[in-house]
């Protein structure tokens, strides 16, 4: 077997796997993520490389202790602290021909590596992935998890709601053939969010294959408060705007729906306020119709809560009424500011 990739003449073999995980201030989640790797039923060779950013919550010490448990767990410093920088450092310091990306918020099922390797051998895909199965523990997290897993929340892509096996635009996390991802140049460290989508576009443009299989389902712990959810969605919207500017939409218009909704709501409110002024000045309040736009969105959120959230408990359903607009508005505002280049933290890159 080639040390740099899955050799074509050895498709029946079981190549070794390297798990790579960037962590930063993840003391509450990282132990469970690592233990899910140690519990894999994969029988081939493996190693784990954890790239630790400058953390202030005890993550560094915890990960060091995890590294002492098994000599196959390597802990390295990630001074920059970003996800793509950590992933690239971990990949360069790992050994095996199949790279399995792991998130500190994710828990891999025991058969994950075995199924992923078998899928790569069968399809010769550059990257294989599956479903981000969001699972909450509190009513708020249950509401977020449901929003993630429904079309009215994050757009209904296969990596969130499932679907048939086959080639895909992108997948959750990713299991890569080392030689293919190295040839593509690894993750773009200028992109702090959405770097997996951007890498998958480069792999596909080079003639490679990104493969989705619903047999790979990864448990994911969603954000636990309105503030952290809003920050996550706002940052994702900012970087999605940068990716859209440099790479297009990848053939999908779903990324444009939240910003268009935000624009519609803002215009409706402004026009509606104009109608209130007209009414106060004893003029014909023609502009009051602007309120129909935000009113229509409110009705949409309520109906979505009744339909998509019908299996939630009462408290989680109440949170769903807040979570859904939090996702839409935060993401949409981030996208609009990103398109307008009003985010000083985004370093523009014109492409490779």
- How does pLDDT run across 168-178, given as a tens digit for each residue? 888 888 999 99
Q: What angle do CA 135, 83, 147 make, to 5 degrees?
A: 25
In angstroms, the first-to-last Cα distance of the chain is: 31
Instruction: Judge whether 127 and 171 are in contact, CB under 8 Å.
Output: yes
Q: Which tens digit of pLDDT belongs to each residue from 94-114?
A: 999 999 999 888 889 999 999
Q: Rounded to 5 degrees, what are φ and ψ at 50?
A: -110, 120
The answer to whether residues 214 and 230 belong to one domain is: no
The answer to whether residues 59 and 141 belong to one domain is: yes
Instruction: Kindly state the DSSP code that residue 143 receives in the 8-state scheme.
Output: H
The answer to whether residues 195 and 260 belong to one domain is: no
Write the CB contacts of 35 (distance below 8 Å, at least 6 apart in sequence). Answer: none
In 3D, which of 22, 59, 29, 21 has the Cα closest to residue 137? 29
pLDDT at residue 323, as a whole number:
94
Q: Final residue of a domain: which of 222, 238, 265?
A: 222
The answer to whether residues 277 and 291 belong to one domain is: yes
For the cut 90, the answer to whether the pLDDT of residue 289 exceeds it is yes
Instruction: Judge whether 48 and 73 are in contact, CB under 8 Å.
Output: yes
Q: Which domain holds residue 231?
A: 225-352
Q: Which tens digit of pLDDT belongs to each residue from 10-23?
A: 444 678 999 999 99
In 3D, which of 234, 255, 230 has the Cα closest to residue 245? 255
Residue with tokens 């505002």, as numbered in its chain: 333
The answer to whether residues 97 and 46 belong to one domain is: yes
User: How many structural domains comprise the chain?
Assistant: 2
What does the mean pLDDT of the chain come to?
86
Q: Final residue of a domain: which of 160, 191, 222?
A: 222
CATH of the domain at 41: 3.90.550.10
The answer to whether residues 298 and 316 belong to one domain is: yes
Q: Final residue of a domain: which of 174, 189, 222?
A: 222
The answer to whether residues 230 and 199 belong to one domain is: no
- Please give the Cα distance from 118 to 7 (Å, whole number): 14
The answer to whether residues 173 and 44 belong to one domain is: yes
pLDDT at residue 176, as a whole number:
96
Q: What is the CA radius of gyration of the chain?
A: 22
Asked whether residue 70 is assigned to any structural domain, the reply reads yes
Instruction: Judge whether 199 and 187 are in contact, CB under 8 Å.
Output: yes
Say whether pTM exceeds 0.75.
yes
pLDDT at residue 5, as a whole number:
55
Q: Which tens digit of pLDDT belongs to each residue from 175-210?
A: 999 999 999 999 989 887 778 888 998 999 899 999
Q: Are strands 73-77 and 46-52 parallel, antiparallel or unpaired?
A: parallel
Q: Report the DSSP beta bridge partners of residue 129.
A: 212
The answer to whether residues 128 and 217 belong to one domain is: yes
For the cut 90, the answer to whether the pLDDT of residue 245 exceeds it is no
- Please give the Cα distance from 252 to 241 (Å, whole number): 13
The answer to whether residues 55 and 203 belong to one domain is: yes
- For the record, the structure tokens of 176 come out as 């890569």
């Amino acid at each position: 077997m080639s040390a740099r990739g899955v050799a074509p003449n050895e498709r029946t073999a079981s190549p070794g796997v390297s798990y790579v995980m960037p962590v930063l201030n993840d003391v509450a989640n990282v132990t469970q993520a690592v233990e899910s790797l140690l519990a894999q039923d994969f029988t081939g060779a493996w190693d784990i490389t954890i790239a630790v950013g400058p953390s202030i919550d005890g993550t560094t010490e915890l990960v060091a202790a995890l590294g002492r448990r098994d000599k196959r767990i390597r802990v390295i410093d990630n001074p920059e602290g970003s996800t793509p920088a950590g992933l690239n450092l971990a990949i360069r310091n790992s050994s095996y021909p199949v790279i399995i990306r792991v998130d500190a918020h994710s828990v891999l099922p025991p058969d994950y590596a075995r199924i992923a390797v078998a899928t790569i051998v069968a399809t010769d895909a550059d990257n294989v992935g599956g479903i981000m199965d969001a699972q909450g523990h509190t009513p708020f997290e249950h509401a977020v998890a449901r929003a993630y897993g429904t079309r009215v929340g994050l757009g209904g892509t296969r990596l969130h709601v499932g679907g048939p096996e086959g080639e895909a635009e992108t997948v959750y996390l990713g299991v890569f053939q080392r030689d293919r991802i190295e040839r593509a140049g690894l993750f773009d460290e200028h992109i702090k969010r959405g770097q997996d989508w951007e890498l998958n576009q480069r792999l596909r443009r080079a003639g490679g294959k990104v493969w989705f299989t619903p047999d790979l389902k990864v448990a994911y712990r969603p954000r636990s408060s309105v503030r952290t959810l809003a920050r996550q969605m706002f940052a994702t919207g900012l970087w999605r705007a940068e990716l859209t500017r440099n790479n297009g939409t990848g053939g999908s218009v779903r990324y444009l729906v939240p910003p268009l909704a935000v624009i519609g709501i803002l215009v409706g409110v402004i026009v509606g306020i104009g109608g209130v002024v007209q009414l106060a000045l004893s003029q014909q309040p023609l502009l009051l119709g602007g309120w129909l736009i935000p009113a229509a969105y409110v009705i949409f959120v309520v109906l979505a809560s009744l339909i998509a959230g019908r299996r939630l408990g009462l408290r989680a359903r109440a949170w769903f009424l807040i979570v859904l607009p939090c996702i839409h508005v935060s993401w949409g505002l981030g996208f609009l500011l990103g398109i307008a280049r009003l985010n000083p933290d985004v370093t523009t890159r014109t492409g490779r």
